[in-house]
Amino acid sequence: MNIGAARAFFKSGPFPVIQEQEHLGFRTPARSRNAAKRRHGQVPSPYQLDVETKFDIMGHRGFHGRDRRPHTRDITNVKIDLSKWMQTYTEAFKALQGTHFFRVVTITGLLIILAAMLMFVVEYPQEPVAKGVWDAIWWAIVTMTTVGYGDIVPKTVFGRIIGFGVMISGVFLVSMMTATIASVFVSQRIKEGKGLEDVRDRDHIVVCGWNEHGNSVIQGLVNLLRPRIPVVALVNELPREEVDAILYRFKDIQFRFVRGNFTKEEILARANIKRARAAIVLADASGHHPIEAADERTIFGALAIKSMAPKVKTCAELRNPENKEHLRRANVDEIVVRGEQNAAILASAAAATGLSTVMKLLLNVEEGNKLWRVRLPDRFVGRTVGDLNTFFRDKFSAILMAIVTETSAIRLEDIMSQDATAIDDFIKRKFEESGKDFFSSGKGRVSVQINPPFDYVLTKNDAAVVLGRDRPAEASLLEKSLDFVVGGGRSEEK
């Protein structure tokens, strides 16, 4: 199920396939083919030549060809590091707001101005060492911060008394400032490690609960969402060492950790669930919860998530298929029962050699051929699956596996007529009076056609799922000048 959860959590669709042009897949034969070539020194067969050539062409078209990857990755890493630093400072600044840091800063500022003015008034008539008010302020700052350059020095008795006061208060105030900043950083570290820090991110993924498949789920997320991996917030009751192990294992991911029981609303609120992109509820075995009772907690957790954030896509893992109904009532978007696919794989393994391996490879999220969900550009609307199939085969060496049709949810405005009538008012008022939310939690319907018939005409609600080595780059799909041959030599318009 592990991969299932990762996969299903993805955008929408109750189908066991990927999302938004991310991958699942199996090892491409390319590597072994090359190896074979090297071993036997043979001339590549026409098929191989064909494939390799296409691969090159695609590389030039801005594909994420394998050979280009290291270069791309370097650049991305630098960016991530920079943004991490930026974030650390922004967070520290936010954390300082809760302390008396800014009060100390204000008092220091006021004292500097006051001391500078007094000093100027007292000194200037007798010993004009400070040439003006700015010099006096400069002196006050230098003295206050205990730097004491000595370029401007009070000479009169009164001036020195003022200087003494500034020195003493400077020692106190500056050390207070330093201490506050330091303590904020330290307490943040401690809180993070303990899972006491509140999550402030948006569009993050909340992973509730943990079990032995948790690492695979995270790995799946990494592989499917690369290169833009969102922040992942873990909500569970794992001991410190295990959390550290997860954090260490997935260094590419920015983790947030909230320690606590995810069935409780306040814990979910700390994970900022309302702003999350998606939530995964795993059958929880963390914090001495028996895995046998996991379904119960999954249901409570999913209910809590859906009541707090009805729009957040929620995917839940079940152990017992009988509990599906509860989750459906909770409006959970995706329900994955652990081991559900095992029966099919076992049966096919016995029935036909190789079939089970194909299934397993298709479900694999590691490197290699993967399933990708591709949004269709507008120009395919009104054309047939046959055309699309040819397009993917010729341009991306990808096989069209399925068509995903998403129909959007009904909104109250869709029912209303253009000119608000008495009946419109009535309907609107009645829905408001009922106090229930009939619309915002309403989900669009998602239907999947595996191996769609070639004469099916595509609509704007359709997306394609293809099996291919690389993600069919959206840029090339949208490229207007791309004139490809469809069917019997008909060329693409535009």
Partner 1 sequence: MIPEIDFLRKIYIFQDLVDQELEFIAQIMTPREFPSGELVIEEGKQGDSMYVIAEGEVQVFKSLTMKFGEDDFRETEKTLITLRAEDHVVIGEMSLITEAERSATVTAQIDSTLYEITREHFLNLAWAKPELGLKVTLRLAELVSQRLKKSGEDVIRLTTALSIALSQ
Select from 85, 134, 164, 438 the one that contacts partner 1 (CB under 8 A).
438
Query: 227: cis peptide before it, omega within 30°?
Result: yes
- Shortest Cβ 441–partner 1 spacing (Å): 8
Q: Is residue 436 near partner 1 by the rule CB under 8 A?
A: yes
* Tokens standing for residue 55: 């691969």
Residue 280's beta-bridge partner residues? 207, 315
Give, as one character, the DSSP assignment of residue 297.
H
Q: Is residue 426 near partner 1 by the rule CB under 8 A?
A: yes
Gap between the Cα atoms of 372 and 467, Å rounded:
6
Q: Is residue 416 near partner 1 by the rule CB under 8 A?
A: yes
Q: Is residue 417 near partner 1 by the rule CB under 8 A?
A: yes
Q: Is residue 435 near partner 1 by the rule CB under 8 A?
A: no
User: One symbol per residue from 370 to 409: x for binding partner 1 (CB under 8 A), - otherwise; what is it?
Assistant: ----------------------------------------
Gap between the Cα atoms of 494 and 492, Å rounded:
7
- How many residues line the site for partner 1 (CB under 8 A)? 18
* Tokens standing for residue 273: 């669930």
Q: Provide the pairing of β-strand 445-450 with 399-407.
A: antiparallel
- Shortest Cβ 424–partner 1 spacing (Å): 7
Contacts of partner 1 in 29-68 (CB under 8 A)? none
Q: Provide the pairing of β-strand 232-236 with 255-259.
A: parallel
| Backbone torsions φ then ψ of 28, nearest 5 degrees | -70, 150
Q: Is residue 430 near partner 1 by the rule CB under 8 A?
A: yes
Q: Is residue 427 near partner 1 by the rule CB under 8 A?
A: yes
489 exposure class (CB count in 10 Å sphere: 0-12, 13-18, 19+): exposed
83 exposure class (CB count in 10 Å sphere: 0-12, 13-18, 19+): exposed
Q: Is residue 420 near partner 1 by the rule CB under 8 A?
A: no
- Shortest Cβ 447–partner 1 spacing (Å): 17
368, 66 Cβ separation under 8 angstroms: no
Select from 421, 440, 451, 459 the one that contacts partner 1 (CB under 8 A).
421
The residue (of 97 and 417) whose beta carbon lies closer to partner 1 is 417
Gap between the Cα atoms of 189 and 183, Å rounded:
10
Q: Provide the pairing of β-strand 445-450 with 278-281.
A: unpaired
Q: Is residue 362 near partner 1 by the rule CB under 8 A?
A: no
The residue (of 355 and 416) whose beta carbon lies closer to partner 1 is 416
Residue 400's beta-bridge partner residues? 466
- Shortest Cβ 427–partner 1 spacing (Å): 5
Consecutive H or E run containing 401: strand 399-407
Select from 424, 443, 449, 461 the one that contacts partner 1 (CB under 8 A).
424
Select from 36, 49, 161, 410 the one that contacts partner 1 (CB under 8 A).
410
- Shortest Cβ 409–partner 1 spacing (Å): 10
Q: Which stretch binds partner 1 (CB under 8 A): 37-45, 80-88, 166-174, 417-425?
A: 417-425
Q: Which stretch binds partner 1 (CB under 8 A): 3-11, 389-397, 419-427, 453-461?
A: 419-427
Helix boundaries (H) for 124-249: 133-144, 157-194, 214-225, 240-249
What residues line the site for partner 1 (CB under 8 A)?
410, 415-417, 421-427, 430-431, 434, 436, 438-439, 442
